[in-house]
Amino acid sequence: MSEQGGRRLHITGRTLTFDADPRINADAARYTEKGAVLIGDGRILWCGQAGDEPADLSAGAERHNHGDDLILPGFVDGHVHYPQIGVIASFGAQLLDWLEKYTFPEEGRFSDAAYARETASRFLNLLLANGTTTAAVYCTVHPESADAFFEEASSRDLRMIAGKILMDRNAPETVTDTAQAGYDDTKSLIEKWHGQGRNLYAITPRFAPTSTPAQLEACGTLMSEFDDVYLQTHVSENTDEVKWVAELFPDARSYQDVYAHYGMLGPRGLYGHAIHMDDADLAQAAETQTRYVHCPTSNLFIGSGLFDIRRTWNAGVDVMLGCDVGGGTSLSPFATMKAAYEIAQFSGYPLTPEQAFWLSTSGGADTLSLGDRIGRLAPGYEADVVVLNLKSTPVIDQRVKRAENLRDILFAQMILADDRAIRAVYANGLRVVG
């Protein structure tokens, strides 16, 4: 830990954190109009009403007064591709064309360690500028891309999950490995980075069509060899993709079932999209406690389909939100929450702002099995904190003036705000933005 991390901070403003699941508890949001947070050694020491701070903790602390800004836990993102930040907003393709036309050529450049490092640095700065302090991140097939990412995350002392992609067929040579090389490289990256500082590793096969059965088998083996690493991949994003998987794996009951066959489902499994699922898939995900990551701006932008959050929740499956840049159109959690709201509207479900903010903080942290470390303003939690200007644009300002309650204020942010609302970000107790 850096020297600065040992410094004690006393942060004041409005505070918001979730103590419970707002889907089942109407009082889940703990909001304090004049709140305070004490931070020391990278941890939250205390959070409560300003004026009630324990004197022994607040004495000598550096004061950061955020006035009527809103202090909340740093945002959590369950699915993003750092190497695609340069091709965000590329025109006119659906998933399989998108990969061929934009993704694979760009990802091919990441065998160059310097290019990977520069991109990882730029990506993390942009992510933090949007208030996100933890993300599950795809690198490229090149081990250099994962090294570059973890080096940059470490230098900022961030709680990040990432992994090198495994891909040994149906893609250009510049972005493929082999079943054996993918296994070997993943294993040495896990040994190098998992649990190193705040870094965590995710075994990262891109998706079933670009891995041979032998490679998927190797992923299952890695899952059983390391019982606390994650596995992240894509499932049932686009209907052409679903058809292709059925051709490639004719014996599987469904797309998700391919992963089940190789022992890749479970509570550490983070499955992006999961749009075109049948009831048996949802039951299987609930049974194995497999997690889904809803990526709404991406699903709209590349025309993949409409995720049904209510149906998925009702089936007992844990869901979190992801921006899925470069398929997604924004690193901003506000944009992701807004699109999640809009997509839920198609199935007549009004996703509440409390649910959306919970999904983007403590609910997301729970889905990542990190709910005891990040995502809340509570003693002992890692001090990842974001401060929001609640009137960051004239339109938001005039809307918030009419707000009758916290829900109105939060809803105006999730529909109207962007990175201009991010006043400050603290990561592991250090002020890294603002």
Of 90 and 393, nearer to Zn ion (C-beta) is 90
Residue 79 beta carbon to Zn ion: minimum distance, rounded to whole angstroms = 6
Q: State how far the Cα of 292 lies from the Cα of 312, in Å rounded to an integer.
A: 9
* Interacting residue with Zn ion among 324, 354, 366, 384 (CB under 5 A): 324
Q: Tell me how many residues contact Zn ion (CB under 5 A).
A: 2
Q: Is 77 in the site for Zn ion (CB under 5 A)?
A: no
Of 64 and 79, nearer to Zn ion (C-beta) is 79
Stretch that binds Zn ion, among 82-90, 248-256, 272-280, 344-352 (CB under 5 A): 272-280
Stretch that binds Zn ion, among 25-33, 116-124, 208-216, 320-328 (CB under 5 A): 320-328
Residue 121 beta carbon to Zn ion: minimum distance, rounded to whole angstroms = 21
Residue with tokens 């303003």: 377
Residue 321 beta carbon to Zn ion: minimum distance, rounded to whole angstroms = 13
User: Do you know the residue count of the chain?
Assistant: 434
CA distances from 433 to 12, 158, 234, 385 (A): 17, 13, 32, 11
Question: Nearest CA to 246 among 234, 233, 236?
Answer: 236
Residue 39 beta carbon to Zn ion: minimum distance, rounded to whole angstroms = 33
Closest residue to Zn ion, based on beta-carbon distance: 324
Burial letters 191-206, b for 16+ CB under 10 A, else e: eebbeebbbbbbbbbb
Stretch that binds Zn ion, among 8-16, 92-100, 110-118, 322-330 (CB under 5 A): 322-330
Longest Cα–Cα distance of the chain, Å, equals: 67
Q: How many CB atoms lie within 10 A of CB 405?
A: 9
Stretch that binds Zn ion, among 160-168, 196-204, 300-308, 321-329 (CB under 5 A): 321-329
Stretch that binds Zn ion, among 52-60, 153-161, 318-326, 345-353 (CB under 5 A): 318-326
Residue 403 beta carbon to Zn ion: minimum distance, rounded to whole angstroms = 35
**Beta partners for residue 46, in sequence order:** 38
Q: Tell me the three state secondary structure of residue 95.
A: helix
- Per the CB < 8 A criterion, the answer to whether 18 and 34 are in contact is no
* Burial class, 394, CB count within 10 angstroms (exposed 0-12 / middle 13-18 / buried 19+): exposed
Of 53 and 77, nearer to Zn ion (C-beta) is 77
Residue 293 beta carbon to Zn ion: minimum distance, rounded to whole angstroms = 9
Of 42 and 272, nearer to Zn ion (C-beta) is 272
Residue 99 beta carbon to Zn ion: minimum distance, rounded to whole angstroms = 10
Of 232 and 392, nearer to Zn ion (C-beta) is 232
Of 147 and 324, nearer to Zn ion (C-beta) is 324
Per DSSP, the residues of 368-410 read TT-TTTSSS-STTSB--EEEE-TT-SHHHHHHHHT--SHHHHH
Question: Nearest CA to 277 among 323, 325, 313?
Answer: 313
Stretch that binds Zn ion, among 186-194, 270-278, 284-292, 399-407 (CB under 5 A): 270-278
Residues whose CB falls within 8 Å of the CB of residue 342, separated by 6 or more in sequence, listed in order: 296, 300
Of 78 and 272, nearer to Zn ion (C-beta) is 272
Of 22 and 182, nearer to Zn ion (C-beta) is 182
Q: State how far the Cα of 404 lies from the Cα of 386, in Å rounded to an integer.
A: 24
Alpha-helical (H) ranges within 194-332 are 213-225, 239-248, 255-261, 279-288, 296-301, 309-314
Of 318 and 324, nearer to Zn ion (C-beta) is 324
Considering only residues 183 through 222, tell me which ones interact with Zn ion, judged by CB under 5 A. Answer: none
Q: State how far the Cα of 266 lies from the Cα of 225, in Å rounded to an integer.
A: 14
Residue 137 beta carbon to Zn ion: minimum distance, rounded to whole angstroms = 10
Of 269 and 272, nearer to Zn ion (C-beta) is 272
Binding mask 371-410 for Zn ion (x = CB under 5 A): ----------------------------------------
Residues within the interface to Zn ion (CB under 5 A) = 272, 324
